[in-house]
Structure 1
């Protein structure tokens, strides 16, 4: 079962390839990439062994600004993010916040919540 407000999808690519695809698509659409973190490598600096986990923090300041103008607290969930990880069986998974959850959490109008909907991006990077 997925945690509340989180959508999880399986990817046919590795975690790295999935994040590579997302980053490429986002850049082509004019999104700003704020950070890309290899969580496996970061954990290793603390002597913790993890499977492959990559994290991407991205957004569009004009879009995020519209959302924050309605409710400043949404900055807690912005910029948008997605993670891709490989489980013990070798399957790759992608997780991200559901725009409907953000709509409910911050009482956004549906047209504003749609600005945070990245489901089409996820479909493109998981196939």
Structure 2
């Protein structure tokens, strides 16, 4: 069973990526990195459907989680994958519930990491 949660987007690929970035900024978080796997594939003479990973977070949310469970630092910052899969754009992220179970972190402690769920849902939603 995959620990990734998938949400279909109501928007095209480029618009979905833009909406994700806007949602991250609106919630006071920072995009630390953007990996455009399809562009990297093109540079190598290969083809890949549009696929971008955004790495983001906020110290105010992540620091208390890492203080409560230092091993969670390995998982952070948060990551959100936006990809074109056949005719559908999807947003994928690792389940926060899976992290809570894996690291034995109570729900109230890990709650700030639900930022990824909020960003994905808002970015994917039809207006």
With normalisation by structure 1, the TM-score equals 0.89
1:64 is the counterpart of 2:59: no
CA RMSD of aligned residues (A): 1.4
**5+ residue gaps, structure 1:** none
Match of 2:21 in 1: 23
1:96 aligns with 2:101: no
Contact between 1:103 and 1:113, CA under 8 Å: does it hold in 2?
yes
Partner of 1:8 in structure 2?
A: 6
Aligned equivalent of 2:36, options 29, 35, 38: 38
Tell me the equivalent position of 1:116: 113
Shift >4 Å, 4+ stretches: none
For the 8 Å contact 2:68–2:109, the answer to whether it is kept is no
CA distance in structure 1 between the partners assigned to 2:14 and 2:36 by the alignment: 9
Alpha-carbon separation, structure 2, partners of 1:49 and 1:110: 41
Structure-2 separation of matches of 1:61 and 1:47: 38
For residues 53 and 111 of structure 1, the distance between their equivalents in structure 2, rounded to whole angstroms, comes to 32
How far off its partner does 1:47 sit? 2.4
Question: Would you say how many aligned residue pairs link Structure 1 and Structure 2?
Answer: 124
Structure 2 counterpart SS, 1:104: helix
Aligned to 2:50: 52
The offset of 1:54, in angstroms, is: 1.3
* Residues 19 and 55 in structure 1, CA contact (< 8 A), matched pair in contact too: no
Structure 1 window deviating more from structure 2 (117-126 vs 56-65): it is 117-126
Counterpart CA distance in 2 for 1:43 and 1:76 is 27
